[in-house]
Amino acid sequence: MTKNAKGVMAERETEIDAKGIDEADAHLSQHLSGICASYTPIPRVSASDLSPGDFHQRYFVTAAPVVLTGATEGWPARDWTLAGLVERVGDNEVFVRGGTHRDDYRRGDKYTIRRDTFRGYCADLSAANARARSSYLAVASMAQAFPQLLPDVPLPEYLTSAQGGKLHLGPYLWVALKGHYEFCHFDPDDNFLVMVRGSKRVLLFGHDLDGMYPNRLGSLGKTVQSQVDCDSPDLNKFPRFSNARCQHTVLRPGEMLFIPAFVWHQVSALETGISLNMFYGDGGESSYLDKICRLPYREHFLYWLRNIFEQNRGYDNFPKLLSRLDEVLYNFFLKQWHEVASQEQLKYVGDIVRGWYKPEIGRIEEETGDQATSKFPPMLKIRGLLHRDNTKVRTAEENEKKVQTAK
Ligand SMILES: O=C(O)CCC(=O)C(=O)O
């Protein structure tokens, strides 16, 4: 056996302590099972027993989450270790979230961001120091941050086959310290979450705006976050959380979880580890848009879209954005999901948006006579937690200086 292979084996052996993981999961799950209206395991199916066509019919079309075991056999990424990745891509620059131990992070309200090298971040993780406990290397675009690793991550057949879909974004890399709590949220895409090393506890809460208390409209971020801390829900503040229906699993190396679009999810790292994910949707020109305008997605899609409009409301170009709504929506759907919206879809969504902003639109028409002037319509922007207006990204030197000052 080569030295590197030995290293991989050693890491695998120490990582799989099934009893410890089950105990941690049981501890975290204890109160939830007594609180939620239902608490059931996410079904697990062996990929060798599930063709892409069957996955499509049984899970994708019905928006039913499933853990696919053995779905990543043969992926070079299955041999990754943190030490091995540091050797290969340690000098690559990454953006690391900070403040992840704080309550406002658990609500998805706020985090800082700093530049580091992958090596620097992993050194903190190995030391399990205070900075590691308040940091997360989350949603790192492999194409941008780790292009050398892209060949190690093939897209699953469930996505690439004729019955598969269209990749929206990713793959992304996530590296978490044991104990990290990722805020509960939903994404505007179907999603495969793949565990490479370590394990994560995943809680899903379906499509449920009422029981999950989304942050107020206009909250920053591409996702919609829940105010509920799923580890210790405050039922005095969030009583309807007791109506939530929870599905849970512990995702282990090599396993892949299908999280349907707009399904609430909360993820906690039971061990330090590496995971990947890819955001996608239905294949075809505009089938994804068709799907999310229908049940069970519609209410969440519209809440998400309204949240994005509200993020743009305070900006000078908001009236122009409303006055050229069809073009704005067309460009937005193309950018988000590579969807080419039809006239009918634009009318359907546009009428809903016009309903939200009727008074503003009335005023604009009075003031401007509804004349479009510039060649290009303004862009509907997702003003993320990372939004440049609000968050300063520190350079490695500034960061180092801050660390030195703090010592
Ligand atoms: O693994 C995590 O911490 C979160 C993953 C996630 O939110 C996602 O895959 O959408």
83 CA → ligand 1 middle, Å: 22
Question: Which atom of ligand 1 lies nearest, measured to the CA of 176?
Answer: 3
Nearest to residue 115, comparing CAs of 144, 148, 83, 92?
Answer: 92
Nearest to residue 118, comparing CAs of 154, 82, 148, 151?
Answer: 82
Question: Which atom of ligand 1 lies nearest, measured to the CA of 180?
Answer: 3
Biggest CA–CA distance in the chain, Å, is 77
179 CA → ligand 1 middle, Å: 14
Question: Which atom of ligand 1 lies nearest, measured to the CA of 269?
Answer: 3
Residue 276 DSSP class: E
Q: Is there an atom of ligand 1 within 6 Å of 199 CB? A: no
404 CA → ligand 1 middle, Å: 32
The pLDDT score that the predictor gives to residue 373 is 67
Pairwise CA distance, residues 259 & 251, whole Å = 12
Residue whose CA is closest, atom 4 of ligand 1? 267
352 CA → ligand 1 middle, Å: 30
Q: Is there an atom of ligand 1 within 6 Å of 345 CB? A: no
The pLDDT score that the predictor gives to residue 369 is 56
The pLDDT score that the predictor gives to residue 362 is 82
List every span in the chain annotated with CATH 2.60.120.650. Answer: 3-282
Q: Is there an atom of ligand 1 within 6 Å of 195 CB? A: no
CA angle centred on 400, ends 394 and 401, rounded to 5°: 90
Q: Which of the listed residues 181, 189, 197, 277 should we mutate to test ligand 1's pocket, taking the one with most ligand atoms within 8 A of CB?
A: 277
**What are the residue ranges of helices labelled H in 67-113?**
82-89, 103-106
CATH superfamily membership of 3-282: Cupin (2.60.120.650)
Residue whose CA is closest, atom 1 of ligand 1? 267
- Burial class from Cβ neighbours inside 10 Å (0-12, 13-18, 19+) for residue 373 reads exposed
Other C-beta atoms within 10 Å of 122: how many?
21
Full pLDDT tens readout for the chain, 407 residues: 344 444 444 444 444 466 777 887 777 788 888 899 999 999 999 999 999 999 999 999 999 999 999 999 999 999 999 999 999 999 999 999 999 999 999 999 889 999 999 999 999 999 999 999 999 999 999 999 999 999 999 999 999 998 899 999 999 999 999 999 999 999 999 999 999 999 999 999 999 999 999 999 999 999 999 999 999 999 999 999 999 999 999 999 999 999 999 999 999 999 999 999 999 999 999 999 999 999 999 999 999 999 999 999 989 899 999 999 999 999 999 999 999 999 999 999 999 999 999 988 888 777 765 455 678 899 999 987 664 444 444 444 554 454 344 33
170 torsion bin: left (phi>0), alpha (psi -120 to 50), beta (else): left
256 CA → ligand 1 middle, Å: 12
Q: Is there an atom of ligand 1 within 6 Å of 223 CB? A: no
- Residue 371, phi then psi, degrees to nearest 5: -100, 125
Q: Helix axis angle, 3-15 relative to 82-89, nearest 10°?
A: 140
222 CA → ligand 1 middle, Å: 13
The pLDDT score that the predictor gives to residue 84 is 97
Question: Which atom of ligand 1 lies nearest, measured to the CA of 187?
Answer: 10
318 CA → ligand 1 middle, Å: 31
Nearest to residue 275, comparing CAs of 139, 84, 88, 76?
Answer: 139
Residue whose CA is closest, atom 5 of ligand 1? 267
For residue 267, list its beta bridge partners: 182, 202
Taking only Cα atoms into account, the Rg of the chain, rounded to an integer number of angstroms, comes to 22
Nearest to residue 173, comparing CAs of 193, 198, 199, 187?
Answer: 193
Q: Is there an atom of ligand 1 within 6 Å of 267 CB? A: yes
